[in-house]
Structure 1
């Protein structure tokens, strides 16, 4: 048994026969309830004509699929660009919060506390209505991406900071003993180890970025949810179109979750 398993058993007693029986019963009941709810939902859809052919036929047409795939591509592009900017910015903010300079620490902390508190929707309205009023305008793509970056960088900064503080102090002290400066120790010793440890958490953060991109409708960005609404209204099949869009989001989120689990398994 590994030391990690020993730590787990110190925190949690393994379930006994009665506890395992209760767990099996609870699992069976949960499956039955979910199955019943799913059957009820399908019955309600059928009774209201939502399973009729005229609600679904368009999804077998390539122009419609291309329309939805294109909007999914816009969603993934916004998510990828936001992640490429938010993750490094969050790392810099985390280093700023741990800096030896009081001014740098204060500035980084102010940024993190401010943008963790401000709702993303409010940031979008600032870029949509506020900044153009003072002569600052951005393309639609950046009206969505920049607020996502500003908000998520603050969250990522706290993830990085927790990872750095969780690293054994001996790693940093060993780097100092080799003659490294604080910056060199962070760059060559601390940050690479933290990135490996936090890889699953950062992949999971992509799920939040993906969900944030659905607010693109506020700035008329042609992301998947916005385009599903347009398509559903055009074909008078709003519910079925939203269900297809939801299935696409679930598939992408499942892929990200599996990636995070794979990275966690490799790290352990």
Structure 2
């Protein structure tokens, strides 16, 4: 084998390397040019001056715009995350039911709401709630955002839980059923705790998605962080600093949610350390006795 070859592919020769280097230089030059054009455009609009940041040291900017926006984002995200976890658990277990009609209904529900964009769900629910006066007008946007996020993220979490349960060893449920445990007992005491613990990283990622997608509520007139940032930028004519501040706040919120969920995951895993199948077997033995 030649010195210019590897196990997986043939290494590029001198001509190919020169070509790759040329295209790399071109791409970097284009990016620098685009960055310069953006800088010039922002500088002409006066968005890079220091006085554009002055509103963020004023109390009124926070009490009138940013804090209500943060509150709206947290309320919508917290409610939708809790409801999505409940809905996801119900649908995930429903897809594993012994009863075919239940499996079909749960499967159609999950596949349908996973396929529909969450923004379409929000708009549709807003129109339904407004048409039939399900909620008072001031709660219409909040309800639509929560329901849209719940339906979408609940369907995704259902698939996460279903795949987590299916990934567990079949012997645990078979042994439990053999000693007379009902399937509901097996699911509740043996399978579901292990599945949720194993799938927590994916569930955490979906929770972060729900928090970020709450920003779509601004299209419905819901007072959340992105909408509040846009209003602040329009009032003080400092769109760029306002969007930067909003982005930083969203990063902080997402990081805090991830940190909290990761600590819960570690606590659950440490509490189950050394258990797993052994704990499941102990549960089966206890039922047999």
Q: TM-score when scaled to structure 2?
A: 0.74
Q: Say if 1:204 and 1:256, in contact at 8 Å, map to a contact too.
A: no
| Number of the residue aligned with 1:57 | 54
Q: Which runs of 5+ in 1 are unaligned?
A: 1-17, 19-28
| Number of the residue aligned with 1:241 | 242
Q: Say if 1:124 and 1:218, in contact at 8 Å, map to a contact too.
A: no
- Aligned residue for 2:97, secondary structure, equals coil
Q: Which of 88, 91, 97 is the aligned partner of 1:90?
A: 88
| Number of the residue aligned with 2:104 | 106
Inter-partner Cα distance in structure 1 for 2:124 and 2:35 = 44
| Number of the residue aligned with 2:189 | 188
| Over 3 Å off, 4+ runs | 35-48, 134-138, 255-268
Range with greater deviation from structure 2 (191-200 or 253-262): 253-262
Q: Say if 2:123 and 2:144, in contact at 8 Å, map to a contact too.
A: no
How many aligned positions are there? 248
Shift of the alpha carbon at 1:48?
Answer: 4.8
Inter-partner Cα distance in structure 2 for 1:48 and 1:219 = 29
Shift of the alpha carbon at 1:53?
Answer: 2.3
Shift of the alpha carbon at 1:125?
Answer: 1.7
- Aligned residue for 1:222, secondary structure, equals coil
Q: Say if 2:95 and 2:102, in contact at 8 Å, map to a contact too.
A: yes
Q: Which runs of 5+ in 2 are unaligned?
A: 1-10, 12-23, 274-289
Q: TM-score when scaled to structure 1?
A: 0.79
| Number of the residue aligned with 1:120 | 118
Inter-partner Cα distance in structure 2 for 1:90 and 1:241 = 36
Q: CA RMSD in A?
A: 3.6
Q: Which has the larger radius of gyration?
A: 2
Inter-partner Cα distance in structure 1 for 2:254 and 2:33 = 23
Shift of the alpha carbon at 1:38?
Answer: 11
Inter-partner Cα distance in structure 1 for 2:134 and 2:265 = 43
Q: Say if 2:52 and 2:238, in contact at 8 Å, map to a contact too.
A: yes
Cα offsets for 1:150-198 (capped at 9, x unmatched): 1111111111111011111122123223421100000011111111111
